[in-house]
């Protein structure tokens, strides 16, 4: 992916955790690859912790290097990357300080990208301050999640930002959409005659989408206790992945064609009746347990968390899509912290053959399955049955495997790297449009409202397990189970 696009990339929250772990490493990898970033492109970090550029570069050296390059750091590339970086010491609480930023970027070339790696409460003040000094022209704004606390607050942010930036200038980022297997899911479905005829209710029995974390809330207790797993993961990441899996073929891969089809899926989600939430939604919170033999504390004893907190750290949902392609097919969504493993995957369970002359093993659910692994390793694996060598017709499950790091030796990009290049080059397809976001909030709100009004604590689960037993029971009612339970 070569580019001649000049740019000035302004990074708000330039000393924050996200900048250190993801954004600057992604920009470094693009720089190191050569040709992905225009030679004239500059990075301007904005923060108030470092006094000057030298102090900021020292901070970057200490906090970014450990997060870059699986193949080791290229010192020459690193040194030349640091030459791209400028720094502006700025107090976001003082709009008058933005004149310093205007002066710093006024002579720099190309499109201006403002990346807001800050809390959502700062989105509107930053945008207004940028407009006050004329920096909202020839610009793109990148908004990190969470964008609001509910539909009302999300609309308030979008309304205010929309007064300053046009919709085509706004890039609402969801890094799961930049992952290679998600892109390959589109290629598999719409580039191959093999899958598309099977991608419908007649041949798909159920679909599972899981994003599981071994980590707890770490140092984010204050934030997480006011957010919870439904807002933090379901409203954005999981529903976006669901819309990619279930969307109709777009007429092209341009940004609005893709996002129009995702929106149709989100609008076709079967509304959740508050009386049925107990049947289709499981809410959990981790207690003390162990991760790979190491004891870990319960959620309520984590720093920043209220001792009597009822915030959920686990959610499992049964979702239905009311359209011709998917009517009657259950989609099971699951996310949680302090689970048994770190994994993100999409599991498509195809229906068993209607009759088998080969015996009952050919009828088992796992015989025909597509597993798209997003992390920790990125693979696509198709399971089917084959005859075991030897006498008799004995069947065994085998798989066809696409491991990206083995098949494609070069050219792999992390999700943030791809998405940041898309922002610089003006490609919107992998970013969330406002109407998509509104549809997602509208669907989750009945669950949020019921959980906030009901006087019921989340179901407990021990850290290091796969969540509350009610999650497995919900799938058992439909004659299936989570993938790891079958194995």
Helix (H) or strand (E) holding 257: helix 255-268
Distance, CA of 418 to CA of 143 (rounded, Å): 16
Please answer whether residues 169 and 141 qualify as being in contact, where contact means their C-beta atoms are separated by less than 8 angstroms. Answer: yes
List the beta strands (DSSP E) in 326-378: 331-336, 343-350, 369-375
428: buried, middle or exposed (CB in 10 Å: 19+, 13-18, 0-12)?
buried
Distance, CA of 432 to CA of 174 (rounded, Å): 7
Please say if 237 is a catalytic residue.
yes
What 3-state class would DSSP assign to 69?
coil
Residue 228 DSSP symbol? H
Residues 6+ apart with CB under 8 A from 153: none
Please answer whether residues 329 and 204 qualify as being in contact, where contact means their C-beta atoms are separated by less than 8 angstroms. Answer: yes
Please answer whether residues 352 and 363 qualify as being in contact, where contact means their C-beta atoms are separated by less than 8 angstroms. Answer: yes
Please answer whether residues 229 and 309 qualify as being in contact, where contact means their C-beta atoms are separated by less than 8 angstroms. Answer: no
What 3-state class would DSSP assign to 208?
strand
Distance, CA of 240 to CA of 421 (rounded, Å): 20
Alpha helices in 67-191 (DSSP H): 75-82, 98-105, 123-132, 151-162, 180-191
CA atoms within 13 A on the CB side of 453: 9
125: buried, middle or exposed (CB in 10 Å: 19+, 13-18, 0-12)?
middle
Distance, CA of 435 to CA of 469 (rounded, Å): 35
94: buried, middle or exposed (CB in 10 Å: 19+, 13-18, 0-12)?
exposed
Which residues are known binding-site members?
48, 91-92, 145, 175, 179, 213, 232, 337
Residue from 31, 237, 355, 478 carrying the catalytic annotation: 237
Distance, CA of 43 to CA of 35 (rounded, Å): 16
Question: Which residues are annotated as catalytic?
Answer: 237
């Amino acid at each position: 992916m070569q580019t001649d696009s000049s740019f000035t990339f302004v990074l708000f929250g330039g000393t924050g955790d996200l900048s250190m772990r993801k954004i600057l490493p992604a920009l470094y990898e693009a720089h190191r690859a050569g040709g992905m970033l225009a030679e004239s492109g500059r990075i301007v970090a904005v923060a108030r912790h470092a006094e000057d550029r030298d102090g900021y570069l020292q901070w970057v050296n200490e906090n970014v290097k450990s997060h870059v390059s699986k193949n080791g750091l290229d010192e020459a590339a690193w040194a030349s990357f640091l030459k791209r970086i400028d720094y502006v010491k700025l107090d976001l609480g003082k709009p008058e300080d933005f004149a310093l930023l205007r002066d710093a970027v006024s002579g720099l070339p190309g499109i201006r990208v403002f990346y807001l790696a800050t809390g959502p409460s700062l989105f509107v003040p930053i945008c207004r301050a940028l407009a006050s000094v004329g920096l909202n022209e020839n610009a793109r704004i990148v908004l990190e999640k969470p964008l609001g606390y509910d539909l009302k607050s999300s609309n308030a942010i979008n309304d205010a930002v929309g007064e300053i930036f046009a919709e085509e200038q706004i890039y609402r980022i969801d890094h799961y959409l930049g992952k290679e297997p998600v892109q390959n899911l589109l290629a598999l479905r719409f580039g191959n005659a093999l899958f598309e005829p099977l991608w419908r209710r007649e041949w798909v029995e159920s679909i599972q989408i899981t994003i599981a974390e071994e980590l707890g809330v770490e140092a984010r207790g204050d934030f997480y206790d006011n957010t919870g797993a439904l807002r933090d993961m379901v409203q954005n990441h999981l529903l976006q992945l669901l819309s990619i899996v279930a969307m109709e073929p777009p007429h092209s891969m341009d940004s609005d064609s893709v996002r129009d089809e995702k929106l149709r899926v989100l609008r076709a989600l079967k509304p959740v009746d508050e009386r049925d939430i107990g049947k289709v939604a499981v809410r959990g919170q981790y207690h003390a347990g162990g991760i790979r033999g190491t004891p870990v504390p319960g959620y309520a004893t984590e720093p920043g968390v209220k001792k009597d907190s009822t915030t959920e750290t686990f959610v499992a949902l049964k979702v239905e899509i009311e359209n011709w392609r998917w009517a009657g097919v259950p989609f099971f969504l699951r996310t949680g912290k302090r689970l048994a493993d770190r994994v993100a995957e999409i599991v498509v369970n195809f229906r068993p053959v209607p009759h088998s002359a080969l015996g009952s093993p050919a009828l088992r659910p796992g015989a025909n399955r597509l597993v798209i692994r997003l992390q920790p390793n990125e693979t696509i694996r198709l399971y089917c049955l084959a005859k075991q060598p030897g006498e008799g017709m004995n069947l065994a499950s085998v798989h066809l495997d696409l491991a990206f790091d083995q098949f494609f030796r070069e050219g792999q990009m992390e999700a943030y790297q791809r998405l940041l290049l898309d922002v610089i080059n003006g490609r919107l397809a992998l970013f969330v449009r406002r109407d998509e976001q509104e549809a997602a909030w509208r669907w989750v709100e009945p669950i949020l409202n019921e959980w906030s009004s009901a006087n019921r604590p989340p179901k407990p689960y021990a850290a290091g397990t796969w969540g509350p037993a009610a999650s497995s029971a919900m799938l058992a009612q439909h004659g299936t189970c989570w993938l790891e339970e079958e194995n």
